[in-house]
Amino acid sequence: MMNQKMQLWNTLDRASLEKQLQEIGHKYITISFYQYAHITDPQSFRDQLYLQWTNLDIVGRTYVAKEGINAQIAVPTAHLGLFREELYQISFLNGIRLNFAVDDAEAAFPFLKLKIKVRSKILADGLNDTTFDVTNKGIHLNAAAFNALTNDPNTLLIDFRNHYEWEVGHFKGAILPDVDTFRESLPFIEETILKGNEDKNIVMYCTGGVRCEKASAWFKHRGFENVHQLEGGIIKYANDCKELGIENKFIGKNFVFDERRGERITPDVIAVCHQCGEPADNHTNCVNDACHLLFIQCDNCKAAMENCCSQACLETIHLPLEVQKELRKGQNKSNLIFKKGRSAALPFQGHKEKPQALIEQTLKNQKA
C-alpha cells in the first residue's frame, strides 16, 4: 500500500497536466491564505495536506515551515465546502481568512499541479526571528480605514512588493521601492524611506498580507511606532471595496504568482511593453528554456517575437531541440528568473522610470 511513498508529488509534464485538468473539467477558484504558527513536524504536516488536497483535485503552490504556512491554491468550486471544512479542522487554521481571487478570467487553469514544499521559512526575509517578537504586529486596516488613513497627509504609504509587481498596478500616491525581493526591501525601505520619518503614520501593503505581517513586526522592533498594514492585502481590499461600494484607490493590475500572472482591478493600463514601449501590462515568461525571463510583452511583440524576450532567444528556439539542450548544459538560468524584468535586451523597463529620485521627491512633498 505504501509503495512509492504513496506518490506524494506530481511527475507529469506540462502538456499532460493541462490535458488531465481539461478531462477532469473542474471550474476552479483561486484562494490564498497564510498563518504564522508553530508546526513541530513540517514534513508530516506537508504529506498529510498533500493527500487531503489531492483527493479534492486541488492544485497550487504552498510552503510549509516550522513557522507556519503560506498557500496560493486553486480549489474546484464543487469541493470548496469540503475543503474549508477539512482546513478548519486543523487547530491553528480554524477560521483562517481566505483571500478569494478578484478576477479568475485570465487563465484556464491558475495552476497546473499541486506543489507543497517544506522550507526553513514560509517567506524568505533574511531575519532572525528569535531576536524580536513576530507577534507584535502593526495595526490591521480594513478597506475603509485604509482609505481614511492614506488620505492623511501625515501618512507614508509604502508598497512592499517587488518592482515587477507594482509596475503593472499599485495604490495612488504609494512609494514604490525599486527592489527585487522582500529580503532586500526591508533594509532598503528603512534606510531610504523610514529614517527621519518616525513621526509619520506608516501604512504598508502587499498582495495578500503575509509580507506586511512580518515587516510590521520587524519595524516595530526597530523602533517605529505608528505602523499599519492593509488587512488581507490588495486581494481582500479590492473585494471589500466592490462589496461595500467604497472608493478603490488601487489602479491597474494586481500581480499574482500563478498562471494568470495578474488579476484586473481597474481598466487602467499603467505599464508599457518592455520591447516596444506601447501600453501593456501582461507578463510573460520567455519561451526559451535557457532563459524564461519574466517581462511585460504586448500582443504585437508576442506575435513577432514568438513569446521571446530577445532576438538571441528567438533564434535559439528555432534550433533543433538537441542543439538547444546542448547549449543549456552547465548554464545556471536562476539569476535570469530571479532578476525578473531586468535585462539589457529589454529597452523599455518601467522600474527605471521610478528611480530613487522619485521616492525622495514624494517624501519631500509629504514634508512640505
* pLDDT recorded at residue 105: 57
pLDDT band at 58; cut points 50, 70, 90 = very high
174-202, pLDDT tens digit by residue? 999 999 899 999 999 999 999 999 999 99
Q: Domains along the chain?
A: 3-118 (3.30.70.100), 129-251+352-367 (3.40.250.10), 283-347 (no CATH)
DSSP 66-84: TTEEEEEEEEEGGGHHHHH
Mean of the per-residue pLDDT values of the chain: 86
Residue 328 has pLDDT above 90, yes or no: no
Q: What is the mean pLDDT of residues 157-161?
A: 96
Which member of 206, 212, 273, 298 is catalytic? 206
217-250, pLDDT tens digit by residue? 999 999 999 999 999 999 999 999 999 999 999 9
Residue 87 has pLDDT above 50, yes or no: yes
User: Is 309 one of the annotated active-site residues of the chain?
Assistant: no
pLDDT band at 349; cut points 50, 70, 90 = confident
Residue 72 has pLDDT above 60, yes or no: yes
- Going by C-alpha positions, the residue among 165, 366, 359 that lies closest to residue 270 is 165
Q: Which residue has the cell 504552498?
A: 62
Give the pairing type, strands 59-65 and 114-118. Answer: parallel
Give dist(CA 215, CA 250) in Å, integer.
21
Q: Which amino acid is at 283?
A: H
Give dist(CA 340, CA 138) in Å, integer.
30
59 sits in which H/E element: strand 59-65
- Going by C-alpha positions, the residue among 235, 232, 229, 228 that lies closest to residue 250 is 235
* pLDDT recorded at residue 344: 85
* pLDDT recorded at residue 260: 83
